Amino acid sequence: MRSLWEKEVAFNAFPKSEGDKKTDVLIVGGGMAGILCAHFLQKYGVEYCLVEAGKVAEGVTGHTTAKITSQHGLLYHEIADRYGLEAAARYYSANQEALDYYRMLCERIPCDFEEKDNFVYSVQKRLKLERELSVLEKIHADAGFKDNLPLPFGTCGAVCFPRQAQFHPLKFLAEITKNLNIYEHTKVIGFGACLGKTGGRKVLLSGGGTILAKKIVIATHFPMLNKHGAYFMKLYQHRSYVSALKGAPQLPGMYVDEDKKGFSFRNAGDCLLLGGGSHRTGKQGGSYTEVRGAAERFYPGTKEVCRWAAQDCMSPDGIPYIGKYSKGSHNIYVATGFNKWGMTSAMTAGMLLADLVLEKRSEYKTLFSPSRPALTLQVAVNMGESLLGLLSFSKKRCPHLGCALKWNKEEHSWDCPCHGSRFGENGVLLNNPANDNLKKSVGKK
């Protein structure tokens, strides 16, 4: 089903790129991150163009819950443990800057922007909440503890970030894209050789056209270049599900469980958005069934008016990858691994990528570097899943790297448990990193 946002907003159409073109910066991907990168490059007077294989904002961005917050689960104590308190403080500063810029833009864009306190709650792990608060206090973050939450079950409290925000993402993008240089239905199918550090690179498009770009930003959710960066090892994808309920109460804030298997809550107009059912793409999980069951238990008598699923790229340390695509790539940049917090992270990406393209100094470059060490247990799990997928028997193989596809009974799709590509019953590509449809209509299992 279409998301609540998609039902309410229609975008202006953008042309398809025809023939051969030249530009200083090519942005590949028309979601929130790519569009905000284009916004900043235009603001700074940089020649650029953005290409989108389909229509802008119809992918992951159109299926967000649209919370703008610096509070990304109970992440700050994990960053401090791994990289130190200074890194945790920089992460907080980067996200607060993103929130502030949204706040400034939304003063002139009618997009249902509302300031809301954000709460990360726990059902049982109060010590984990206290540990997070200890780190937040040390980095001077504006945060506090909250008891007695207005949720339909008991908790042991929550960490609260005041004055965060929520909005209508497609109303926002419909306005901000109006004067940007965008080409829709323009699919990138290949990259030519690098013509030296300053000569650029020719990008091949479906239909025979090309774009010669001095610098390239890959903002395609999951990065599309397998030869660089090892993102197929460093990332995995997660699906989660949302039900828009009418007749549910208005909640004074935004709420999410620190446990990935828990539920999230926020209001949107007269609807309550109940999220949950999270699982690794291609694996068994709660799915819509879990969310529907929770709605019946928590809010009996409500009516579901809309439901949708989101798919998110997860990094092993919880910090997005924003910056140079890899150590060995010249003038190619990437934004990915937003870990279910795509709205704030997309703004951070737009700001940082513009600085990097313009070769400005940034205090956040090292923190978000895609080349930072990534040897974690999650990387080992990702490699194990890839090996298992390659060795599993199935006539249906993912065109990305050849893993066995699994039939998703509830969503009627073929899903890749290795890297998260998904295909419809007819073989049409639904989610990347695969860049092509299945060659033949695959039918049901």
Two tokens at 124?
Answer: 């049982």
Domain 377-431: assigned CATH number: 2.102.10.10
Residue 429 one-letter amino acid = L
Q: What is the token pair recorded at 284?
A: 């068994």
Tell me what the mean pLDDT of segment 240-267 comes to. 96
* 327-357 per-residue burial string, b: 16 or more CB within 10 A, e: under 16: eebbbbbbbbbbbbbbbbbbbbbbbbbbbbb
Q: Fill in the amino acid letter for 158.
A: A
- Specify the pLDDT at position 210: 95
Phi, psi at 97, each rounded to 5°: -65, -40
Considering the entire predicted model, what is its pTM?
Answer: 0.93
pLDDT value at residue 389:
59
pLDDT digits (tens, 9 = 90+) for 250-261: 999 999 999 989
pLDDT of 232 > 90? The answer is no
pLDDT of residue 230: 82
Residues 179-194, mean pLDDT to the nearest whole number: 91
8 A C-beta contact, residue 1 and residue 57:
no
Answer yes or no: are the C-beta atoms of 429 and 421 closer than 8 Å: yes
Lowest mean pLDDT among 56-65, 91-100, 125-134, 317-326: 56-65
Residue 132: its H or E element: helix 126-138
| Count of residues making up the chain | 445
63-92: per-residue pLDDT in tens? 999 999 999 999 999 999 999 999 999 999
Residue 275's nearest CA partner among 247, 256, 299 is: 256
Q: Could you tell me where the DSSP H helices lie in 252-301?
A: 287-298
Q: Which residue has the tokens 């004067």?
A: 179
Average pLDDT, rounded, for the chain:
91
**pLDDT > 70: percent of the chain:** 93
Tens of pLDDT, residue by residue over 140-173, are: 999 999 999 999 999 999 999 999 999 999 999 9
pLDDT reported for residue 379: 67
**pLDDT tens for residues 51-61?**
999 999 988 89
Per-domain boundaries in the chain: 4-63+172-233+318-357, 237-250+261-314, 377-431
Cβ–Cβ < 8 Å for 65, 340 = no
Residue 353 pairs in a beta bridge with: none
Residues 382 and 433: their CA atoms lie apart, in Å, by 15
Q: Which of 69, 83, 98, 67 is nearest to 139 (CA)?
A: 83
Query: Residue 110 above 80 pLDDT?
Result: yes
Q: Residue 221: which of 311, 326, 330, 99 has the closest Cα?
A: 311
Identity of residue 305: V
In this structure, what token pair is assigned to residue 256? 């999410």
Q: What are phi and psi of 332, to 5 degrees?
A: -120, 130
Percent of the chain with pLDDT over 90: 70
Instruction: Give me the half-sphere count of Cα atoms (radius 13 Å) on the Cβ side of residue 394.
Output: 21
Contact of 177 with 56, CB cutoff 8 Å: yes
Common-topology check for domains 4-63+172-233+318-357 and 377-431: no
Q: Is 217 helix (H, G, I), strand (E, B) or coil?
A: strand
Q: Looking at domain 4-63+172-233+318-357, does it have CATH number 3.50.50.60?
A: yes
Residues 6 or more apart in contact with residue 375 via CB below 8 angstroms: none
Burial class of 124 by CB neighbour count within 10 A (0 to 12, 13 to 18, 19+):
exposed
Q: Can you list the positions of beta strands (E) in 108-153?
A: 114-121, 144-146
Work out the number of other CB atoms within 10 angstroms of the CB of residue 317: 20
Contact 389, 417 (CB under 8 A): yes
Phi, psi of 49, deg, nearest 5: -150, 155
Q: Is the pLDDT of residue 46 over 70?
A: yes
Maximum distance among all alpha carbons in the chain?
Answer: 64
Instruction: Report residue 87 as tokens.
Output: 């890194």
Higher pLDDT, 362 or 192: 362
Please give the Cα distance from 183 to 52 (Å, whole number): 6
State residue 442's pLDDT score: 46
